[in-house]
Amino acid sequence: MKQTKAHRCCGGTLGIWEHTSEALQCSMTFSVFLPPQADKGPVPFVTFLSGLTCTHENFTTKAGAYRAAAELGLAVVAPDTSPRGEDVPNDDAYDLGQGAGFYINATQEPWSKHFHMERYVMEELLPLVESSFPVQADQQGIFGHSMGGHGALTLFFKYPGKFKSVSAFAPIVAPTQVPWGHKAFAAYLGDDREAWKNHDACELVRRGGDASSNPMILVDQGTADGFLEEQLQPALFVDACGSVGQSLQLRMQEGYDHSYYFIQSFVADHLAHHKTYLGSVVG
Amino acid sequence: MKQTKAHRCCGGTLGIWEHTSEALQCSMTFSVFLPPQADKGPVPFVTFLSGLTCTHENFTTKAGAYRAAAELGLAVVAPDTSPRGEDVPNDDAYDLGQGAGFYINATQEPWSKHFHMERYVMEELLPLVESSFPVQADQQGIFGHSMGGHGALTLFFKYPGKFKSVSAFAPIVAPTQVPWGHKAFAAYLGDDREAWKNHDACELVRRGGDASSNPMILVDQGTADGFLEEQLQPALFVDACGSVGQSLQLRMQEGYDHSYYFIQSFVADHLAHHKTYLGSVVG
């Protein structure tokens, strides 16, 4: 792992890091913001999973998250959304291949050699972050946007206890029921639609049974989001959460779209939400 | 003038606008953020002038300014840094031609047909903004970064009374004394170095004489800025301001560089600085 850039930011430090991923068989880039409190000892942290077409850079440069993170004493990790490189398969469409890893492990050719974003995040990136930076491994949350909201919600349910807090901006909550998910899951996982359900937040929350002791999930969704009705359908998640007592705060944000202007408007709220579940700073 | 994009942002609205500029003989793009207070009546506003290589987009997407602007009730205008287009002369270097207009009016070929950024901002863009948006023309400030800091400071002194507040991030304060200025002014203005002095903030503040009734100027400068010693030299501005009683707060920010991470760290302070000089919201 090597640091390619470092910037002082909001009293903390923003670093851009490169490393070779075994899970993805390629070089990967991610950013880590350390708040000023990290100078004194390990701090809680949150990982932000980005949406279709994004790299680590979109959130890092456009979300305006670091001022609030510095005030709250939270580190923030932002990975890329897929394996990258000329040797990695791709597709002309924006919603398949590079930039569209969907935070799952592909089983189908030509994707199965590289496209293991779930394994990458859970078994490689997070352990690397936990061992290399002054962060508290047992005080971490996860959040994301759109495809990354799907990633955050599904990883939260797939790995109980790993994340003490979770939130999402305009998440794909039911990929087994919408075109983005149909396309990606068919390509990456094949035609067995039962297998798809292992990667669908609405399915996972129902399967978990009584969720009344889970942390509340915060979801923001813009009402002017062009993907709302066809791809996002937050009402499906409201139903699923309601059926098992999963506490959910869905905020329909009037007039907001799917862009980073939407994210920068509410990212401080999300960080504050995470902080309510994550431990105090040591030291 | 036509709006090409509109985003709800931080309770206000961020619009991207295109218009044909007579001063520049080309199509130009700028952004306008209107805070929620603008729904009730005209609000004070600030114009941000960007640095070398930037378009209107860098500040708009990366500065994270709109949350603070919404809280303060300030509109924020962000223009491009030069004329644009295939018909507009350019140079292979990043610090001349497109992306490097220096907020002056070129008199030399091949630049003199299009490169009139001072005239564009003062006689075209600001009047357009003042007449087209709910802003208070008599309650406006100006700020900028690097080349745009030079622009903000020089326009403040060239047009007394136009701007009630001014600030800058890592400004070029003495273009007649540093390589960036030598190169651009020689190309745009020719070899008469006396004429260059009309566009040098250090010269202009001295020429103005007693400046004790001027608003305070806020300048932030990172100590890890790679351009600090050769191109920026804020001490020259400290001396110039001191010689005429111009109140200046120069904050040397430890470890900060020249990037938008530096700007996003302190942009809220700058907006608050402007707000102290700009009128209250009407309505």
Query: What is the edge-to-edge ordering of all strands in the sheet holding A75-79?
Result: A2-9, A12-21, A26-34, A75-79, A43-49, A135-145, A165-169, A217-222, A248-253
- Locus of tokens 């497109």: B98
pLDDT at B282: 46
Which residues of chain A are under the pLDDT cut of 50? 281-283
Q: Please indicate whether, in this complex, the C-beta atoms of A64 and B67 are within 8 angstroms of each other.
A: yes
The dihedral built from the CA positions of residue B248, B249, B252 and B257, taken in this order, carries a sign that is negative
- Amino acid in the structure at residue A72: L
pLDDT at B283: 39
**In DSSP terms, which residues pair with A60 in a beta bridge?**
none
Is there a contact between B270 and A16 (Cβ–Cβ < 8 Å)?
no
Identify the DSSP state of B90: -
Query: Is the omega angle on the peptide bond into residue B110 within 30 degrees of 0, that is, cis?
Result: yes
Catalytic residue (choose from B31, B82, B146, B165): B146
Q: Please indicate whether, in this complex, the C-beta atoms of A264 and B224 are within 8 angstroms of each other.
A: no
Residues 6+ apart with CB under 8 A from A182: A175, A176
Query: What is the edge-to-edge ordering of all strands in the sheet holding B75-79?
Result: B2-9, B12-21, B26-34, B75-79, B43-49, B135-145, B165-169, B217-222, B248-253
Write the residue in B64, B66, B257 that is nearest to A7 by C-beta.
Answer: B257
- For B187-250, the three-class secondary structure string (H helix, E strand, C coil) is HHHCCCHHHHHHHCHHHHHHHCCCCCCCCCEEEEEECCCCCHHHHHCHHHHHHHHHHHCCCEEE
- What's the gap in Å between the CA of A8 and the closest CA on chain B? 5
- What's the gap in Å between the CA of B150 and the closest CA on chain A? 23
Q: Please indicate whether, in this complex, the C-beta atoms of A255 and B8 are within 8 angstroms of each other.
A: yes
- Distance (Å, whole) CA A66 – CA A134: 17
Does B270 qualify as catalytic in the annotation?
A: no
Query: From its phi and psi, is residue A164 left (phi > 0), alpha (psi between -120 and 50) or beta?
Result: alpha
Average pLDDT, chain B: 97
The dihedral built from the CA positions of residue B43, A63, B260 and B8, taken in this order, carries a sign that is negative
- Distance (Å, whole) CA A135 – CA A125: 13
Is there a contact between A263 and A63 (Cβ–Cβ < 8 Å)?
yes
Identify the DSSP state of A116: B
Is there a contact between B43 and B74 (Cβ–Cβ < 8 Å)?
yes
Does B150 qualify as catalytic in the annotation?
A: no
Query: From its phi and psi, is residue A43 left (phi > 0), alpha (psi between -120 and 50) or beta?
Result: beta
- Distance (Å, whole) CA A61 – CA A82: 18
pLDDT at B225: 98
- The vertex-A202 CA angle with A198 and A205, nearest 5°, equals 80
- Distance (Å, whole) CA A149 – CA A32: 19
Q: Which of B71, B252, B261 to mutate to test the interface with A (most CBs of A within 10 A)?
A: B261
Q: Helix, strand or coil for residue A129?
A: helix
- Distance (Å, whole) CA A149 – CA A232: 10
pLDDT at A34: 98
- Amino acid in the structure at residue A254: E
Number of Cα atoms under 13 Å in the Cβ half of residue B26 = 19
Q: Which stretches of chain A are assigned E, i.e. beta strand?
A: 2-9, 12-21, 26-34, 43-49, 75-79, 135-145, 165-169, 217-222, 248-253
Q: Please indicate whether, in this complex, the C-beta atoms of A257 and B8 are within 8 angstroms of each other.
A: yes
Task: Compare all CA atoms of chain B with the CA of A261 and give the residue at the minimum distance.
Answer: B9
pLDDT at B279: 79
Q: Please indicate whether, in this complex, the C-beta atoms of B7 and A62 are within 8 angstroms of each other.
A: no
Q: Is B224 at the interface with chain A, CB within 8 A?
A: yes
pLDDT at B280: 62
Query: Is the omega angle on the peptide bond into residue B44 within 30 degrees of 0, that is, cis?
Result: no
**How far lies B235's CA from each of B21, B146, B170, B193, in Å?**
37, 15, 12, 22
- Amino acid in the structure at residue A268: A
Catalytic (active-site) positions of A: 146, 225, 258
Residues 6+ apart with CB under 8 A from B138: B164, B279
pLDDT at A279: 79
pLDDT at A280: 62
Write the residue in B7, B254, B264 that is nearest to A64 by C-beta.
Answer: B264
- What's the gap in Å between the CA of B61 and the closest CA on chain A? 6
**pLDDT mean by block of 10 residues, chain B; 283 residues:** 97 98 98 98 98 98 98 98 97 98 98 98 98 98 98 98 98 98 98 97 97 97 98 98 98 98 98 92 44
Q: Helix, strand or coil for residue A3?
A: strand
